[in-house]
Amino acid sequence: MLSLKGVQQRYGPNLVLALERFEAAAGEHWLVLGASGSGKTTLLNLIAGLLRPSEGEIIIGGQILGQSAGAALDRWRGRNVGIVPQKLHLVQSLSVLQNLLLAPYLAGLSANKVRAESLLGQLSINEHSKSRPNQLSHGQAQRVAIARAVMNRPTLLLADEPTANLDDANCMQALDLLQNQARECGATLIVATHDQRAKARFEKRLELPA
Amino acid sequence: MNLAGISLAYLRARPLAAALNVLLLALGVATVVVLLLASRQIESRMLRDAQGIDLVVGAKGSPMQLVLSAVFHIDVPAGNIPLDEANKLSGHRAVKKAIPMALGDSYKSYRIVGTNHDYPAHYGARIAAGGLWETPMQAVLGAETARATGLGVGAKFAGAHGMGGEGEAHEDAPYEVVGVLAPTGTVIDRLVLTDMKSVWAVHGTENEKDADQEITALLIRYATPLAAAMLPRQINANSFLQAASPAYESARLFRMIGVGIEVLRAFGVVLMLAAGLSVFIALTNALEERRYDLAVMRMLGAGRGKLFGLLVLEGLLLSVLGAALGVALGHTATSLIGSLLAAQNQAPLTGFLWLSEELWIVGGALAVGLIAALLPGLRASRKDVAGVLAEG
């Protein structure tokens, strides 16, 4: 499903990520562990097609990523990759429900209000569907971000530091949500974190050297 | 959910800034619309009032004053001319028709014009009630005069000396209203018409010999186009008379007030450009405020074109609202100015007039919004997504 070969990423002269080989099968749940600055976010951005590798190739679903470019790549990402960024980045000018509907609209899919509402129900934030994101608690906002990421039933679900600033109970709950939603969509889940508490939840782990 | 909906949500999130931009643009559009409506209406009104009058002959003085007083009835006459001179001129072979006119009095600031039946006929005035005057001291009211003074057929009134309505009243010589004209959309709507002999009677000169009688002006229609070349020169050589062309004098008047109109129009355009600059600044600030939103939209699958479209649409939405409000404001303001002018017995202006040139103004306003949004739109489409998402 996902395969990285000889991928290197540089910012100027600095090598921020070097990964000889990484493969994930469809539906697998992976934990990418590493200290701050080890290139976890860079790896997720590469897989999402938001960055182009300086060297090497990334193959997703049999396609070499980066062969298509521009709007086609954006569209592919919108339909196939769900991303929960570390700083959730919900759109403050839109309501919670509109934030979810943004995902199918921007990916060029038809609006699926039923799916949006059922997701809000599953994540028990349906009573906030008309609220602005800044009226939510951090936990609620994170659930909205997860719902937004799985709106289009992606084949790849990427989460960047989803447990940062969460206590133990909430940490486990966030990981539960991600894993449940990934299972529901049959998506390959990749969670990048430096949080050792997450280790026990994932059999498949990739450790990035600092 | 669509681009317009998202743009609108962003505008609603900053209602004051959006309202300011809309208002600025609306004021510019309104200024240009008011000038367009007013100058067009005044121009066509003057054209209609002067239609078919090739030359005005009156006392020596300012030719523009002569035209303003005898054709448009918005200035006092400079003086009178002897009747026999006027009669001589009326019989000239280059003159097809000459309408005599004796001015001097008014009723409630509506002018009393002593003339003959050719004058209402010239403007194609139809009788709405009663009939035309047959003997001196009978008066026929223009439609607007009748409406404003409330006089009808059978009513009596006394004229006052002068044109402003403050002069001494001629109480001993009352007029009787015998007819009311239907509206014509010309100057005649705001006049009181009577026989020339009435004016002489009121001023106690009716018993003088014809040779000593005076009139104020003569409205002349040429018999041949050739007359234009010779008649004015011939008349102006006469020591008592002066000839003035309504077409030439009104064109001169428009050239003079044209400068003022141009300055105001430039002011309106400057307002519109300032609105464009304000939209540009607002959208450029929005780029900074929404850097995460824009990056997230790319993350969610929006291509660069969509982000460009989002910003441009926002500029266009502002300018559409500004243009619509501006056109509405412009028409309302013209109506208001019109009702103020109507209270002063001036030619009426209406806001219920739609000119095709307004489409150009609206188009200009939309172009301003579009151009103001182009650069921010382009910058939005070029944001580095991964970098923005990673920071914070």
pLDDT tens digits for range B293-315? 999 999 999 999 999 999 999 99
CB contact (8 A) between residue A103 and residue B385: no
Quick one: pLDDT band at residue B277, thresholds 50, 70, 90? very high
CA distances from A27 to A182, A204, B384 (A): 8, 12, 30
A125: its two tokens: 């934030």
C-beta atoms surrounding B357 within 10 Å? 13
pLDDT tens digits for range B175-187? 999 999 999 989 9
Indicate the length of chain B as a whole number: 392
What whole-number distance in Å separates Cα of residue B155 and Cα of residue B44?
A: 34
Sign of CA dihedral A35, A41, A47, A51: negative
Using a CB-CB distance cutoff of 8 angstroms, which residues of chain A are in contact with residue B303?
70-71, 74-75
What whole-number distance in Å separates Cα of residue A186 and Cα of residue A150?
A: 11
Indicate the length of chain A as a whole number: 210
Nearest to A75 among B6, B12, B301 (CB): B301
Q: How far is A25 from chain B (nearest CA, A)?
A: 23
pLDDT tens digits for range A89-100? 999 999 999 999
User: Is residue A149 predicted with pLDDT exceeding 80?
Assistant: yes
What whole-number distance in Å separates Cα of residue A163 and Cα of residue A178?
A: 11
> How much is the mean pLDDT over chain B?
90
CB contact (8 A) between residue A74 and residue B12: no
Average pLDDT, integer, range B72-99: 91
What whole-number distance in Å separates Cα of residue A109 and Cα of residue A151?
A: 11
| pLDDT computed for residue A152 by the predictor | 95
What whole-number distance in Å separates Cα of residue B43 and Cα of residue A142?
A: 67
| pLDDT computed for residue B209 by the predictor | 67
pLDDT tens digits for range A45-75? 999 999 889 999 999 988 888 777 788 899 9
What whole-number distance in Å separates Cα of residue A176 and Cα of residue A163?
A: 11
Task: Calculate helix-pair angle for A168-185, A138-150, nearest 10 degrees.
Answer: 10
pLDDT tens digits for range B107-139? 988 999 999 999 999 999 999 999 999 999 999
pLDDT tens digits for range A23-48? 999 999 999 999 888 899 999 999 99
Quick one: pLDDT band at residue B352, thresholds 50, 70, 90? confident
Average pLDDT, integer, range B184-193: 93
> Residue by residue, what is the 3-state secondary structure of B70-106?
HCCCCCCCCCCEEHHHHHHHHCCCCEEEEEEEEEEEE
Average pLDDT, integer, range A128-145: 94
Residue type, A177: L
Residue type, B48: R
Average pLDDT, integer, range B286-290: 89
Stretch (H or E) spanning A30 = strand A29-33
Quick one: pLDDT band at residue B150, thresholds 50, 70, 90? very high
What whole-number distance in Å separates Cα of residue B351 and Cα of residue B331?
A: 4
Terminal Cα-to-Cα distance of chain B (whole angstroms): 28
Residue type, B377: G
Using a CB-CB distance cutoff of 8 angstroms, which residues of chain A are in contact with residue B292?
87, 89
Domains and CATH numbers, chain A: 2-207 (3.40.50.300)
A153 and chain B in contact, CB less than 8 A: no
**Tokens 């918005």 sit at which residue?**
B74
Report the residue of A105, A112, A148 to disrupt the B interface, i.e. the one with the largest count of B CBs within 10 Å: A105
Residue type, B103: L
A49: its two tokens: 């097609």
Quick one: pLDDT band at residue B104, thresholds 50, 70, 90? confident
User: Is residue A104 predicted with pLDDT exceeding 70?
Assistant: yes
